[in-house]
Amino acid sequence: MSSTSTEKTADASKKPWIGATTRLLLLGLVFHLAYIPIVFDCYFTSPVVNGMQQFVSPIAPAKRVVLIVGDGLRADLLFNTNAFPGIPHSPKVVAPYIRNIAEQRGAFGVSHTRVPTESRPGHVAIIGGMYEDVSAVTKGWKTNPVNFDSVFNQSSNTFSFGSPDILPMFAKGATPGKVHMWCYDEHEEDFTKDATALDEWSFNHLELLLRNASSDPELNRRLRSDRVVFFLHLLGLDTTGHSYRPHSKEYMKNIQVVDEIVEKTEKLLAAFYKDDKTAYIFTADHGMSNIGNHGDGDPDSTRTPLIAWGAGIRGPLADPRSASHDAYSVPWDLLHLVRRDVEQADIAPLMSVLIGGPLPVNSVGILPDIKDNKPGYLDQSLTDEDIANLAFVNAKVILEQYRVKHRLKATHSLFYTPFPGLRGEFEPGGDIVNFIDAQMRAEDWKAAKKTAGLLIKTTLQGLRYLQTYDRILLRAIATVGYIGWAAYSGIFLLRYHLNRRPMALNSSMILTALSAAVLLAFWAIFTLQSSPATFYIYVSFPVYFWHEVLQYMFFASPTEELDDDEESGSRWASFGKGTLYVLLVIWVLREMVHGYTERLIWGMGYIVIGLFWPFPPWSIFKPRGQLPLLMAWKVSTFVSAIFPFLPVEKTESVSMINFGAGLMILLEIFVMAFSSPEVRKTAPRGTFRYQIILIILSAILTSGSVRDLQAKQGLSKFNQWASWLILVLSVIEPFRVRKRIQDPIMRITSYFLGFGPYMIILSISEEALFYASFAGTLILWIAVDSSAEQNRLADLQSRGEDAKESTAKRGLRSGDLRIALFFLFFVQAAFFGTGNVASVSSFYLEPVYRLVPVFSPFLMASLLILKIIAPYVVLSAAFATLNDQLGLAPFSLFMVALTLTDGMTLAFFYNVRDHGSWLEIGQTISFFVISSLLLVWSAGVCAAGQWLMAGSLGSQSRTKIE
């Protein structure tokens, strides 16, 4: 038979594998995307319901309240003395006016935020008194994914000034005519300009509004009515912190500007109203990490300042033993005064009480003055009766939410069990409410306050009980679903990849009918309970998976036998070997799970791979003179191991960026120098020279842009557009010429060089170095593993043994499990190489300003995502090439990895926390989502690799790095 006909026969035999593999990958994609929301349905359901009765504050010590939010302001950098020691001639007190308020006229403390520490959920907590479920952030930014009540909506008039990203979300859904807003244009949010102009804009428009009142009677009437709210959203600190980081001179000066605005605002309103009926609240929606980011649970992002003063607010209280302080507030030099911390949602009921309005009906905030026996924020002249009435109102607001949720759950749930702590003859909690009423009638105010506090605590537990009511069911479904997927994909391997031909299955009508009955039963229950549509999807996958698994286990064709080209042995030996593989896989996956919190594990992984693979190396490589290849492999893994040991926090370094560009060029020289002569003859030298020129130009432009931005000269239009042009040209080039480059290693090198300028322009420090090291390791991985396979077959033939399979066509072997684990390692090591992708704080914005100086969140996010993708272009091409070099059908090695990934996913699912520290909550969510997307991402990597390398793969191509 001719070689051509042999190849056609081989291709034909692979078609069932490829078709079945494609279907499996599509099913896996749909399954894992569909199961990501299960963590939110299980742990973070929306707290918002409608139809609650309103309850009004019984006191109104102020006619108006002024809320000033310093977006992105950290508590320590506002309160600390000598907060900026690294800045020459920095003042001891950076915000003297605000500090004077804390020392002389008001109350202060820390407002603790929750994850995600972003502007939208932070403002919802401050103004609405509720914590959005974490998934709500993905449903909308400038508009509301859910309608919630707010202090603004319960005011007579709210006048708001600031960012177009924040203000509209409190105007939409509010009672028409209540919330008035003045927003600057989005293009004003320029990261290369002085962001304090944004804060000045807000104050100037407040000043203009009051000036216009003299000629506008209707505006004057609105301004002078009761229950007025002023809201100044000062975005400058957030913008400055992103651009220059919190410990910079720019951030310090922005705090000083905010301090001046607070002073000018108070004087302006005092001159306009000429009374003492204005209350002031100064706080922040979130803080900022040392590297200028927020979003996760970093303590610097969750601790924000809170200062209150004016009408209805107490003055400073002495704390002779500093009992209210801890190590965090020691540098404040305020240990002699009471520090009163609150949860961020507690600010909303405080504002409502100050102006005597209804508390937001969705609020779960607790007025600080009724939380415990510690002093709160309200004026100390309030009587015990006033405090008891406030506590009762606060309790009824939260209890009303429980009652509405209780009715909804009782109406739609089968076998519903109410929360045992809230009993009542007619309504949940009715017995406790009647008891408080009796205490109030008896004028036992302190006892009534205490009982109301217990009612609040119990009701919050009841709300949590209702929100987690379906958790056991969803956890069970998720467990059966993920295990079912692993079993299903394992069965797929047995049917299609471990055999010469697909294994036939005998259908079972009984099993199919039973599976359908189980599915319909669940659907019927969900229908009766009015469960979300996602529940129907969640349960469908495990039913299908286990139907297929059980069908294989009991009805597979007994005539098929598995192939195994490994040396045969006893059953006990095979069992022992299989057990060893299982334990190895469990240990590796366990370490990968730990790697999400300990980045150094990825560095240790590189070292272990370099030390122990190949093992024993000398007998395989030494006789063939391949020790230089082996040593290059070990050096590359050890160099790559350095990066996970480096700290996540980085400073902008032009020298490191240029060093990365130089290493990219050296890698191209290495590949050319050590490739075989026949490969060098066909190498695309012209393309490589062009790409190297673009790398050099990108390094030059980046150096210039960094100097200009650091000198605050703004971004040169020439540098900006030239960088964009080089970026586009460099990325397009490898795709333009890819069909002309037939050699796999040369094509991989072209992709690597093509994304080089992109990595250089968007690097802040050693990212370009990591990219070059990572690519070099992958290229050597191909060379080492393919050479080891060739050497193994040569040894078999030299001993006169007949190898069952050639490298042109073979099935999977147990040894391929090691390659699949390597692949999973490289997929995740690329994420954690220079940062912690599980933490928002590892994304730096400075490099993005070299291309986009004006605030554009989606374009900036896209650039950062593409920066993450760049190493995966090389990984995808390398893995497809290795799969082919080993003579396997496309996606064969990935199919092995497919059965392993959800061990990590399920572990992260059970580790998700919705309580505890904000850092723990945010990290556990991130870990689960990343792990869930691992299969989807890996499948995309493999599919991209097949496309990128199309035309260069085939059994006839055996590239060697010598």
Please provide the average confidence, as pLDDT, over all residues in the chain. Answer: 83
Ranking 514-518, 614-618, 619-623 by mean pLDDT, the lowest is 619-623
Note whether 497 and 620 are same-domain residues.
no
pTM over 0.75: no
Q: How many helices (H) and strands (E) does the chain have?
A: 35, 8
Per the structure, the count of domains in the chain is 4
Range of the domain at 429: 383-468
Q: How confident is the model at residue 95 (pLDDT cuts 50, 70, 90)?
A: very high
Average pLDDT over residues 182-192: 80
Which conformational region is residue 714 in: left (phi greater than 0), alpha (psi within -120 to 50 degrees), or beta?
A: left
The reported pLDDT for the residue numbered 469 is: 81
Question: Residue with structure tokens 């299908």?
Answer: 544
Out of 314, 330, 365, pick the residue that ends a domain. Answer: 365
936 in helix, strand or coil?
helix
pLDDT of residue 563 exceeding 50:
no
Measure the CA angle with vertex 375, ends 372 and 380; round to 5°: 130
Residues near 29 by Cβ (< 8 Å), separated by ≥ 6? Answer: 935, 936, 939
The reported pLDDT for the residue numbered 57 is: 96
Bridge partners (DSSP) of residue 231 are 67, 160
| CA dist., res. 814 & res. 731, Å (int) | 38
Cβ-based burial of 323 (10 A; exposed 0-12, middle 13-18, buried ≥19):
exposed
Among 22-31, 377-386, 889-898, name the most confident range: 377-386
The reported pLDDT for the residue numbered 138 is: 45
Beta strand 303-310 with 278-283 is antiparallel
Considering the domain boundaries, does residue 376 fall inside one? no
Peptide bond preceding 890: is omega within 30 degrees of 0, i.e. cis? Answer: no
Considering the domain boundaries, does residue 957 fall inside one? no
Query: Token pair for residue 593?
Result: 């799970």
Helix (H) or strand (E) holding 758: helix 756-761
Out of 468, 500, 529, pick the residue that ends a domain. Answer: 468
Residues near 582 by Cβ (< 8 Å), separated by ≥ 6? Answer: none
pLDDT tens-digit map of 232-267: 999 999 999 988 889 999 999 999 999 999 999 999
Note whether 626 and 769 are same-domain residues.
yes
Considering the domain boundaries, does residue 805 fall inside one? no
The reported pLDDT for the residue numbered 497 is: 56
Q: Encode burial over 588-612: b for 16+ CB neighbours within 10 A, e otherwise.
A: bbebbbebbeebebbbebbeebbee
Bridge partners (DSSP) of residue 70 are 234
Considering the domain boundaries, does residue 420 fall inside one? yes
Note whether 484 and 463 are same-domain residues.
no
Bridge partners (DSSP) of residue 162 are 183
pLDDT of residue 895 exceeding 80:
no
Among 280-294, 622-636, 777-791, 821-835, name the most confident range: 280-294
Note whether 676 and 761 are same-domain residues.
yes
Note whether 184 and 91 are same-domain residues.
yes
111 in helix, strand or coil?
strand
Identify residue 347 by its one-letter amino acid code. Answer: I
The reported pLDDT for the residue numbered 559 is: 42
pLDDT tens-digit map of 709-738: 877 777 888 888 998 999 899 999 998 888
Residues near 497 by Cβ (< 8 Å), separated by ≥ 6? Answer: 17, 811, 812, 889, 892, 895
Q: How confident is the model at residue 806 (pLDDT cuts 50, 70, 90)?
A: very low
Selection from 331, 237, 341 nearest residue 284 by Cα? 237
Query: Token pair for residue 674?
Result: 């050590």
Note whether 464 and 486 are same-domain residues.
no
- The alpha helices in 166-290, defined as continuous H runs, are 168-171, 196-212, 217-223, 236-244, 249-273
Question: Residue with structure tokens 């007190």?
Answer: 93
Ranking 121-130, 241-250, 828-837 by mean pLDDT, the lowest is 828-837
Considering the domain boundaries, does residue 918 fall inside one? yes
| CA dist., res. 359 & res. 398, Å (int) | 10
Q: What percent of the chain has pLDDT over 90?
A: 42
| CA dist., res. 953 & res. 932, Å (int) | 30
pLDDT of residue 382 exceeding 80:
yes
| CA dist., res. 643 & res. 773, Å (int) | 10
Note whether 412 and 553 are same-domain residues.
no
Query: Token pair for residue 175?
Result: 């009672």
Average pLDDT over residues 440-458: 95
- Distance, first Cα to last Cα, the chain: 33
CATH, residue 238: 3.40.720.10
Considering the domain boundaries, does residue 393 fall inside one? yes
Ranking 142-156, 677-691, 804-818 by mean pLDDT, the lowest is 804-818
Selection from 783, 791, 789 nearest residue 961 by Cα? 783
Note whether 173 and 254 are same-domain residues.
yes
Measure the CA angle with vertex 727, ends 724 and 730; round to 5°: 145
Identify residue 56 by its one-letter amino acid code. Answer: V
Note whether 81 and 114 are same-domain residues.
yes
Asked if 609 and 637 count as a contact pair (C-beta separation under 8 A), the reply is yes
pLDDT tens-digit map of 898-949: 777 777 788 888 877 766 544 566 667 777 777 777 767 777 777 788 888 8
Asked if 325 and 872 count as a contact pair (C-beta separation under 8 A), the reply is no
**Bigger pLDDT: 172 vs 283:** 283
| CA dist., res. 723 & res. 86, Å (int) | 33
The reported pLDDT for the residue numbered 796 is: 61
The reported pLDDT for the residue numbered 663 is: 92
Asked if 562 and 798 count as a contact pair (C-beta separation under 8 A), the reply is no
Considering the domain boundaries, does residue 46 fall inside one? no
Cβ-based burial of 177 (10 A; exposed 0-12, middle 13-18, buried ≥19):
exposed
The reported pLDDT for the residue numbered 784 is: 86
Between helices 654-674 and 627-645, what is the axis angle to 10°? 160
Selection from 770, 742, 776, 752 nearest residue 691 by Cα? 752
Gyration radius of the chain over CA positions: 32
| CA dist., res. 515 & res. 539, Å (int) | 11
Out of 365, 399, 417, pick the residue that ends a domain. Answer: 365
Q: Name the maximum alpha-carbon separation found in the chain.
A: 105
pLDDT of residue 638 exceeding 50:
yes
pLDDT of residue 955 exceeding 60:
no
**Bigger pLDDT: 438 vs 897:** 438
pLDDT of residue 535 exceeding 60:
yes
Note whether 519 and 441 are same-domain residues.
no
Asked if 192 and 853 count as a contact pair (C-beta separation under 8 A), the reply is yes
Note whether 352 and 412 are same-domain residues.
no
Note whether 395 and 525 are same-domain residues.
no
Considering the domain boundaries, does residue 34 fall inside one? no
Backbone φ and ψ for 81, nearest 5 degrees, come out as -85, 145
Residues near 676 by Cβ (< 8 Å), separated by ≥ 6? Answer: 959, 960, 962
| CA dist., res. 18 & res. 890, Å (int) | 7
Beta strand 228-234 with 342-343 is unpaired
